[in-house]
Structures are given as C-alpha cells and as structure tokens.
Amino acid sequence: MKRLLYISIILIAAACKREPLVTYDVKDNIYFNNEISSGTYQDSLDFTFAYSDAAVKEMTINIPLGVTGAPAAADRYYKLVVDPTSTAVASTHFELPELVFRAGRVRDTLHVLLKRIPDQVSGIKKLILHLQPNEQFNTDILYRIMNNGTPDTSSMLTFSISTSDILSAGPYWTDYYARYFGTFSLKKVRLIHDLLGMPLDFWATSSPAPDKRSTAVYYASVMGRYLADEAKKGNIILDEDGTPMKMAPAYP
C-alpha cells in the first residue's frame, strides 16, 4: 500500500512539472497619438504665425507619440523621415529634435520647431513626416478607426503640418465684424493691434458674445476718433488701397 502511494506521488509530481513560459521577442510599435477629443485623432494640423506679434520668430509644435508594449528601462531612438513632397525646408522653416523615446514611458512627445520666414506671408509651407521602422521599433500599425460614429480613419505613421503667416478676414468678418471695423485690410487690423492691443485673432470666432461686442465697439470707436484726429492734423492715414482708412459708418 505504501509503495502504491509513493508511486502515485511521483506521477502527480511529474504531471505538475512547470513548462517554461512562452515569450515573444518582437519589437514594440511606435505611432503618432494626437488625440484631440475622446476617440477622435488628428494626423495633421494647420498653424499660422499671423496671430502672433511680429517679434515672435518661432514656435514649437508638440506632436504626441505612443508605443505598444511595456515601458523600457533605457531611452530608445526612433526613425522619422521628411516626405520629399514637403514644401517646408529643413533649417529654414523647421527643425527636428533628437528622435528619442524616453525611458519609463509609453507616451512621449515630438517637439517640432517652426520658424517664421517672410515667404510664409504669401503661401503655405507643408511639412510631412513619416515614422519608419528601425532596430528598436516596428511601424506595423497603419491606421486608427475613429470612435466618433464616422468611418473616418487617422494615419498612425504619417503626420503633416501646414504653416503660414497669412492674416486674412476669415469666415466671420463680413457677417459679424465688418459692422464695427468696415472693410478688412491687413494694414488696418495691424494698426488697431499696435495702438489698442486688439488680438490678431479677435475676429477668428463667429458671432461675438455680449462682452466681445462691447470690446469691438471700444476698438472701433477709439480707432475712429484716432483716424479723425490725425486727419485734422493733416495726417491722413491711408489704407492698403490708397484711400483714407476708416471704420464702419457707425464709427467715423
């Protein structure tokens, strides 16, 4: 009986012998992770220097990155290339940082420095970036399906930035702001900005709230008086088209 029990213990022990843990030695994937709202991702952005003071000569754009897998104990480097169709020129319109994904993270940021160059006043410069595989990262995740009720997808390996220095009337000037400032002109809005501090994106939103309407009345009234006072002194301030600058008829 004891011999039978001994044999049974041996058989049970053999049956319970641990098998080695199966692991998968594959590289993590890296991808762009620019989430602008819950479930909605963006693989491009538009940026303009036009709303910045003339003294602003560069701006940093932060593009979120993500990787699959667990955080690494050491920094890892990734590969990023500029698409040859990009119209933005390295060192002239932009600079890229050291391409390192920091240790202990599964989320990091690519900081792209954009430079303000005179040629952006007359046209848009586009920078297209592609993540590519290297010794430390794969790039097998191509697209993300939006979680916003649409069939839209967002690229996880390509990101584009359009940059300019074009200040324009935009979609709301005629309907909402012309009643205060009259016809749009770059010279006029920059003069209001210089004299009264009006933000250069003041008209970038739709129908203004009551407090913003009051501010618009202030800018238009003070500017109208300034133009009239200067004209009395013999200093007629001309607009871009060569005619005397003026506000809307309610603010002569």
**Amino acid identity at 197:** G
Pair 60, 145 in one domain: yes
Domain assignment present for residue 12? The answer is no
Pair 46, 128 in one domain: yes
Average pLDDT for 52-71: 94
0.85 exceeded by the pTM? no
User: Hunting for tokens 């009395």 — which residue is that?
Assistant: 232
In percent, the amount of the chain with pLDDT more than 90 equals 69
Pair 140, 182 in one domain: no
Residue 8 pLDDT class (50, 70, 90 cuts): very low
Pair 156, 41 in one domain: yes
Domain assignment present for residue 22? The answer is no
Per-residue pLDDT, 205: 80
226 is written with which tokens? Answer: 């300034």
pLDDT tens sequence across 94-120: 999 999 999 999 999 999 999 999 999
Pair 186, 251 in one domain: yes
Residue 152 pLDDT class (50, 70, 90 cuts): confident
Task: Tell me whether residue 163 is exposed, middle or buried, using C-beta atoms within 10 angstroms of its C-beta: 0 to 12, 13 to 18, 19 or more.
Answer: buried
The Cα–Cα gap between 186 and 164 comes to 15
What range does the domain containing 181 cover?
Answer: 167-252
Mean pLDDT of the chain: 88
C-alpha distances out from residue 37 to 100, 121, 153, Å: 26, 31, 14
Average pLDDT for 241-246: 95
Pair 143, 195 in one domain: no
Task: Tell me whether residue 75 is exposed, middle or buried, using C-beta atoms within 10 angstroms of its C-beta: 0 to 12, 13 to 18, 19 or more.
Answer: middle
The Cα–Cα gap between 217 and 201 comes to 16
The Cα–Cα gap between 22 and 20 comes to 6
The Cα–Cα gap between 92 and 46 comes to 18
Pair 189, 147 in one domain: no
In percent, the amount of the chain with pLDDT more than 70 equals 88
Average pLDDT for 171-181: 92
Residue 139 pLDDT class (50, 70, 90 cuts): very high
Domain assignment present for residue 9? The answer is no
Domain assignment present for residue 8? The answer is no
Average pLDDT for 175-180: 94
Per-residue pLDDT, 163: 95
CATH number of residue 77's parent domain = 2.60.40.2030
Domain assignment present for residue 140? The answer is yes
Average pLDDT for 170-179: 90
Domain assignment present for residue 171? The answer is yes
Per-residue pLDDT, 5: 41
Domain assignment present for residue 20? The answer is no
Contact 131, 63 (CB under 8 A): no
Sign of CA dihedral 204, 208, 212, 214: positive
Pair 105, 176 in one domain: no
Domain count, the chain: 2
Contact 36, 42 (CB under 8 A): yes
Pair 64, 160 in one domain: yes
Close Cβ partners of 195 (under 8 Å, ≥ 6 residues apart): 223, 226
Does 22 have pLDDT greater than 50? Answer: no
Per-residue pLDDT, 149: 62
Close Cβ partners of 236 (under 8 Å, ≥ 6 residues apart): 230, 244
